[in-house]
Structure 1
């Protein structure tokens, strides 16, 4: 069996809970190499998951045994680290958003074109069984054409998820996060709508603000903690989308697709992750799998898909182009 060594840049929560355990569980991954500006963090993860530590990014980029790299750095450095890794001949899985601006994202795409290596972006909502089943139903046209949609993604905020469990989190800093909840949660659902409907959002009317979150000094955060938007796609579908860091109860990751002959409800019911209500009154319920939440970490399928694209030389399921298309919508949302 072919095996590869992988590197991970950044050793925060996304690495600890998603990338590192999923690489460790993948039979094609031989060794994980960790880098973080805080070397104690990388040492801790190397101890937890088995692997080794490098002290500099140059060491990781120059290591010819490392075939692929996960860029789990904060948003403002993706265009630097991912582009450099590609140009050094590494396949790259970049965390979302691909970059803080479309201009920076294009730098990564240009590096990918020059290098000829794989570039995948971690829009993990495409991989859930409920979303894949919903896409299958939509494509079958058993409910006719899609007319409208609504989608939501919200939880109690990144300070509960971050490695330090603190409101000093980089997610609240304009120069590092850039787009707040829009780039953290919103971009996932924008990519999902593009995927489910095989369409692209072209018109946006949105309101956003920092309503409740404060930083470590007790001041309102510099980025939005809530977004409410109205959207129109290239094919003329209309929809609404809400993203929030202030849902101070259970997480909401639901989507509803309204079609000519019925409704598809995704992640509304904890037992039946997909419910199809037909116009004639028939209801079909699918028990698939619980959505991954910050409190319920399960295998996303992203790492496995990335490794498979390398091993079998296939185009990644989420390309850099897909990620830029979603980022363009986020830029319109935050104005």
Structure 2
């Protein structure tokens, strides 16, 4: 079985994750690239041995293309992903699924009507450490989960984006809208939902544009730091921090505190999971190092999506999962703006 794929948007995420992982997948035989900037599409087509489409319509009306990766910027996800599903394509959409609940619901509805696969790239679910941690939690090896804390921060998207400058679309309110919350925070909200088999129900938060400036030297109009308190439907409470100003090193760690001990995930480079029991016993797991902006390893997302399409399996991250995480992120931003506790 050979699969032809179309990629919409040829920025860093397409160049460093989607295209190389499709290229490496044995079931993919052709990639067609589209970007509003034709040169970017041509560059990736050249790098990965693909071809170029002159419009999104050309991709969506090509009956030989089965899969679309929507790597456009945030404000376009609901348009391109919904259109692709309506055109009978399976869709892998970058996160967040959209910027509003209304638009995200349009994508989810399009998927249900089309019967095609929709997966949203909340890639933290795919790491071996997070999958092993979920198993430990589900088996109640340390008893029930009581509290948790999670963080995701790095030096900011201007160090990773396609143009490597402060003009990055991530800093533009009209394009990224959600700032660090939509870039990094949404990953950790999805991860908490996944690990705990639970959903966040109440939030409070503080936010600020503490350090980042745009290409004119003005403070950015979206947050570069958010710290929040979270309570789940099942009564677990925890904290989360999301940052674009961790300038020394990236932090992508999560700690789960249970009745009989602690689970530390990506807390130390040497061990991806550390289990510390109430009695002080330690069990360390060496699984694999997490993807960082400086360490691009195979995320497993593309391979998993191809397998869903080939074997008619349900994606690990559904449209409903993505919508549920988006609701929490929007609640966190509302809580920070209004200085209130918000119920999702």
Give the TM-score taking structure 1 as reference length: 0.99
User: Deviation string for 1:274-304 (max 9, x for gaps)?
Assistant: 0000111110001111010000000000000
**2:32 corresponding residue in structure 1:** 33
**2:342 corresponding residue in structure 1:** none
Structure 1, gaps ≥5 residues long: none
**2:193 corresponding residue in structure 1:** 194
Give the superposition deviation at 1:267.
0.6
**1:271 corresponding residue in structure 2:** 270
User: Deviation string for 1:244-293 (max 9, x for gaps)?
Assistant: 00011100000000000000000111011100001111100011110100
Paired with 2:258 and 2:158, the residues of 1 have a C-alpha distance of 38
Paired with 1:46 and 1:226, the residues of 2 have a C-alpha distance of 36
**1:89 corresponding residue in structure 2:** 88
SS in 1 for 2:289: coil
Paired with 1:334 and 1:142, the residues of 2 have a C-alpha distance of 35
Give the TM-score taking structure 2 as reference length: 0.97
Paired with 1:57 and 1:332, the residues of 2 have a C-alpha distance of 33
**2:242 corresponding residue in structure 1:** 243
Give the superposition deviation at 1:190.
0.2
User: Deviation string for 1:134-168 (max 9, x for gaps)?
Assistant: 00100111100000000000000000001110100
Paired with 1:287 and 1:113, the residues of 2 have a C-alpha distance of 39
Give the superposition deviation at 1:178.
0.6
**1:331 corresponding residue in structure 2:** 330
Deviating above 3 A after TM superposition, structure 1's stretches of 4 or more consecutive aligned residues are none
**1:48 corresponding residue in structure 2:** 47
Paired with 1:306 and 1:212, the residues of 2 have a C-alpha distance of 37
Paired with 2:313 and 2:59, the residues of 1 have a C-alpha distance of 24
**1:228 corresponding residue in structure 2:** 227
Structure-to-structure mapping, 1:135-284, within 5 angstroms: 135-284=134-283
SS in 1 for 2:213: coil
Give the superposition deviation at 1:114.
1.4
